[in-house]
Structures are given as structure tokens and as C-alpha cells.
Chains A and B, each alone.
Chain A
Amino acid sequence: MTTSRSAKCEISFSVNGERKSVRVYPMERLLDVLREELNLTGTKEGCGEGECGACSVLIDGVLVDSCLIPMGQLAAANITTIEGMASNSRFARLRDAFLECGGAQCGICTPGMILAAAHLLERNPAPSFDEIREGLSGNLCRCTGYIQIIEAVAEAARRIGAK
């Protein structure tokens, strides 16, 4: 019995503002294509089942877990990874706040946390602590216990609002 093999296809999309075209099987995971085809290793695999959020990216500005996205659904999509956040207006404040407040320890959850925080602040510029908790509840961290991350996001929000 032979399994009929699928065919690779050409998928064009943009990553961090750059047009990309990859030749991949449609059921390859976005996470793997980012890391292995495009060498964007800032996006991490923590669980492969959409629980830990370490693989978070933005697709058309919307926060998703890239381990759950098949390439075949991404024609013409605009993807932002942590590498692309440098041009995000909120990023510098988030980065500084994370550094000052101890929001990163080992750093593995940090790319996902930053993306989830940026996604939250775009929609809710002055979130309460509970709203920040909810916004980050899909991103697991094992090092920090979350408190200094939440404080960092709150501080970043204050600074962004104060400018």
C-alpha cells in the first residue's frame, strides 16, 4: 500500500513587511516554515498544541499560535514575528519595561509575551492588571510567575500613554 504524496505548492505572503515566497507542503506548520525556511527562530515551539503561546505571531495584526496554522491557509497573509516588532511603535517601550521590571528570565516565552502584550495594547491602551492577565493568559511562563511581566506591560502602557 502506498500513501499518495501531496504536492508542494508556492505560497506568497509577507513576513515582517517583506514579501516572501516559499515552496512547501500546504500542511506544513507556519511555525516550522518561519524557523526552518526563513531562519526566523525568535518564534519558539513549547508544546505544539496551542497551549503555551511560545509560538505566537501576528497574522494581519491578529495574535495566533503559529504551531496551529497550516501554510495552505496563508496566501497573501501579512505575518509579524518578534523579529518584525522592532518597527512596531509600542515595541521599544515594551522592551525597556521588560528589561527594567524583570519581565524576562530565561527568555523563551518572551517573544510570545511581547507579541501578546502589543496585541493587547493596540486594542486596549490602558488595561487594568486583570485585563493584562487575561490578555496574556494564553502565554505560559515557568520562570517569572508572571507578576513582573504584568508589571512590565502596565508600565509600558503608562509610558506609551504618556508620550
Chain B
Amino acid sequence: MKSNPADYELFAPESLRTAVSMMAENPRQWMPIAGGTDVMVQYAAGVLKSRKLLSLWNLAELRRIEVLANEVRIGAASTYTDIRRNEMLGCEFPLLVRAASWTGGIANQNRGTLGGNIVNASPAADSLPALLVYEAELILASAGGERRVAYVDFHTGYKKMQLAPDELIRAVCLPRGAAGYLSYARKVGARNAQAISKVAIAALAKVEESMISDVRIALGSVAPIPIRLRETERFVRGKGLDAAMIGAARKAAISEIQPIDDIRSTARYRSTVVGNLVQEFLQSLGANR
């Protein structure tokens, strides 16, 4: 344990309102901590930059999952276990539930939160590709009020995001309308559980009369942020499912990503596997018709 607890403050506000006023009154002073599964690891490693932590753990306003007519609002401090347990999410947003089941072990899932996953912004984060294909929107809260941001615009670069210093993520909104889409997701890690992903893919497609009328493909761990494969989607949309199209889509996907060599894997491996998984996804659409 490389940090000295005596050097750190942690305050647990009673409400979201208190939390955002503290952040407004002390700009850039307070770092939010929810479940702590990322922050406490940095702390133990002696690399946590902030000395003042603001606990969002278990604030009721941040931990509920609300089902509305046109969207589901997942409180940012909902844990992966909360997400896995929610039947409605399991029905309409299975890729998010699956991603939650892939994150760490049970103990991590009981503490790790969706908001924390987003703000920690590891390109390898498990839930983020699913949020991209479900076209999530974030509700950001501050003392000044709330605003919505399309999740796809939220990450602007490696660990850079559209979050003002006095803002928190309050909820993740998933528009209902993905029913009728075929879904596919895979996480490629070093082992079957408790693995940081080398490649992660989430994808949805609508197939009507042997033609792909809509497709959404998102990848993690192959760029500084999780990404949608816009070019590949544009190419695939409106096409029929045949081997030539799938081969070309595979090439398009590989050319849209910028994987790197890092401690976990190689650029070459990531590229090849992305190609394989996009291919597998498209082939599965034929089988599921």
C-alpha cells in the first residue's frame, strides 16, 4: 500500500445536491469516488492524483434504475450487480448485462459502478461498447443544473471527456428501441474471468428480407477511446449477407481501428481478432434470420 491515509480526505455527502454544491464551491478539489474499484487501486499504487475524495457510494438518487416510456435511466452509481439483476435490462439491453457479468469477479461487480466505468475511461472498459451501440445519453449534474450529452460524444481523447470540473454523471439513459435488433458481444481477455479486455465488441443489427437495414458496431481496446465503426457500418448498411460483403466489411473494420502494442497484447493480434469478430458477427446474422 503506497499511499498514506493521513494525506487524504474523504467526505460522504448525504445527497446529490450536497455533492454538486461542494464541487461547485471548491473547483477541481473533490474527486468523486463511488464503488472505488478503480480509485482505490490507484490509491494503493500511490498514483492517485487527488487528495480529496467525495463519496457517491449508495446515494439513492444515483442508484436507481428507472423505466420510462421511451428510455431507461440507470443511476450512475448502479453497480454491475444491480445491472445484472434488473430483468428489464436483461430483456431489452442484454449486451450491457452481459458486459456487467464480464467485469471482474462477483466482489468487484458488487461495488463497481457504471458511472465509475465511464469516468475512469479505460479504453478497455467492458460496458462502454454496449453503451455506444445502445446510443446512450448521459445526464450530467452540477450545482447549475443538468444537461444531456450523447455518450458517443462524451470521450474526446484518452482519459479526456466532456465533463466539466464541477460535474458528475447522474444517469445513463438508454433509448428503448433496440428491440427487434439481433445482438452480439464478445470480450477477448487473457482468461475466462477477471480479465482486462484485449478486444471487446458489441454489435446490433436489424435484418429485413435478407438485407441489413441497420447495424451498429462498437469496439473497446482498439483506440484511445471506445469507438463506433462508422465507416464499416455505412458500408454494411443496406447490403445483403454474402461472403464477399462480409470479407469487405472485415477489411473495413480493420482499417478503422488504431490498436497498439501494450503490456496485454499486440496491435497485430487486436487487428486480426477484430476482423475475425466482425466477420463472426455478420455471419451470425445469417444464421439467426
Contact = CB atoms under 8 A, between A and B. Distances in A.
A and B touch in the complex (CB under 8 A): yes
Interface of A: 3, 5-7, 24-29, 32, 48-51, 53, 56, 62-65, 67-70, 72-73, 75, 116, 119-120, 134-135, 137-139
Nearest to B105: A138
A14 B41 CA distance: 25
Contact of B44 (A26, A56, A67): A67
B107 A53 contact: yes
B105 A68 contact: no
Contact of A25 (B6, B12, B58, B194): B6
20 contacts: A3-B7, A6-B6, A7-B9, A25-B8, A27-B3, A27-B9, A27-B53, A29-B1, A29-B5, A64-B107, A65-B107, A68-B37, A70-B10, A73-B36, A73-B55, A73-B57, A137-B192, A137-B194, A138-B105, A138-B193
Contacts of A69: 36, 40, 111
Nearest to B44: A48
Contacts of A7: 9
A137 B193 contact: yes
B106 A6 contact: no
A24 B5 CA distance: 9
Interface of B: 1, 3, 5-12, 33, 35-37, 40-41, 43-45, 51, 53, 55, 57-58, 81, 104-108, 110-111, 192-194
Given A63-B110, A64-B111, A68-B111, A50 B8 contact: no
B192 A65 contact: no
A6 B7 contact: yes
A93 B13 CA distance: 42
Contacts of B36: 68-70, 73
Given A70-B33, A116-B107, A138-B104, A26 B57 contact: no
A111 to B, nearest CB: 13
Given A50-B104, A64-B111, A138-B194, A72 B1 contact: no
A26 to B, nearest CB: 4
Contacts of B9: 6-7, 26-27
Nearest to B36: A68
B192 to A, nearest CB: 7
Given A50-B107, A51-B194, A62-B110, A67 B10 contact: no
B9 to A, nearest CB: 5
B106 A70 contact: no
Contacts of A75: 12
Contacts of B57: 73
